[in-house]
Amino acid sequence: MKHLVSSSSDKSSTDNFVTFTTGPQDHLTICSLVLSAVRIKHKFETDHKSILVAEHDMEKAQREMAHYVSENMYWPPKKKTVPKQSEASITSPTFLTMSWFVIFFLITGPWTDGNTWFMIGAIDSSAIFKLGEWWRLCTALTLHADDMHLVGNMVIGGFMVHLLCNHVGYGIAWVLLFLSGISGNFLNIWLRSSVHHSVGFSTAVFSAIGIFCGIQFYTNRVFGLKQLLLPLGAGAALLALLGSQGEKTDIGAHFFGFLCGMLVGFLFEKTTKVTKLRDKHRSQFFYFSLTVLFICFCWFLAWTGSNVDLISK
């Protein structure tokens, strides 16, 4: 016969003890604490693999344990998980991309008469409509007229591009930027009656501002001034830096870049689950690579297909 060790000070052996529960030591310890709390006499077997209670206390013991389990079913509460920063924003190559624009400017130089880069890559409405050199709508976004335009686009533009990359993912951001920028350049020359020349990434910067406004417009259905202060303030700062007049300042391109950005941002937010795309690193890398390849392809066409001698002066 097995010896029983009582957890209670009452050593009475007149009660008939029966098995109440078995299980691991942690489970038995908890059960013992619960039974002790409600003053139910119980005993451990010498091997401590089960708990015994008096037969007349069995029903009460079961009821008390069921009550304990129901009260502590969701305890301790699950820790709230903090959403991880998206891989897209962590790996956003904004600084690297903007550095590439600076290096490219050191290669091309400023906009001067006879500069081949600008002769084959700048916006030229006559070359685009008459000669079909549509790639200029893209290549012009990578050229800068002078140091001031470069600095403004890299500092203010880099800030806006980085915010957009963090919001929609860096790959999607650059696709939207060039889609809006190219559309803005096209509208700017299509609605003009005279031959027009222009270059600059600022059209894409104003597109980024428009994309933010378009997303905000769809999200809230009304323009919230507080939410729009940052992008609109960036646009005002860029205009102040570049000026609103002058031969090398294209207000029309800025305006149409902004409008196209608003439309693109609105449609993108309406048709796409931003958070699902933003956190897919492989998809973001694919879209970013696709944009880079498209730019390189446009420059390849510029060097191999431009009719420099036929372009309007």
Spatial CA neighbour of 295 closest among 100, 88, 158: 100
Q: How far apart are CA 305 and CA 292, in angstroms?
A: 20
For the residues 63-71, what does the mean pLDDT come to? Answer: 81
Is the pLDDT at 273 greater than 80? The verdict is: no
pLDDT at 121 over 50: yes
pTM of the model: 0.65
Pick the most confident of 29-33, 101-105, 165-169, 218-222. Answer: 101-105
Give the tens place of pLDDT for each residue, 229-250: 556 665 565 555 554 444 555 7
- Judged by average pLDDT, the poorest of 9-13, 47-51, 54-58 is 9-13
Does residue 39 come out as left (phi exceeding 0), alpha (psi in the -120 to 50 range) or beta? left
Alpha-helical segments (H) within 169-249: 170-190, 202-220, 225-242
Residue recorded with tokens 């800068």: 144
8-state DSSP, 141: G
The answer, yes or no, to whether residue 49 has pLDDT greater than 90, is: no
Question: What is the arithmetic mean of pLDDT over 191-211?
Answer: 86
* Residue 221, phi-psi category: left (phi > 0), alpha (psi -120 to 50), beta (remainder): left
Contacts (Cβ under 8 Å, ≥6 apart) of 151: 241
The reported pLDDT for the residue numbered 24 is 81
Q: What is the pLDDT of residue 274?
A: 54
Domains and CATH numbers, the chain: 4-71 (3.30.70), 87-310 (1.20.1540.10)
Instruction: State the average pLDDT for the chain.
Output: 78
Per-residue pLDDT at 221 exceeds 70: no
* 43-57, 115-129, 142-156, 204-218: range with highest mean pLDDT: 115-129
pLDDT range class, residue 103, cuts 50, 70, 90: very high
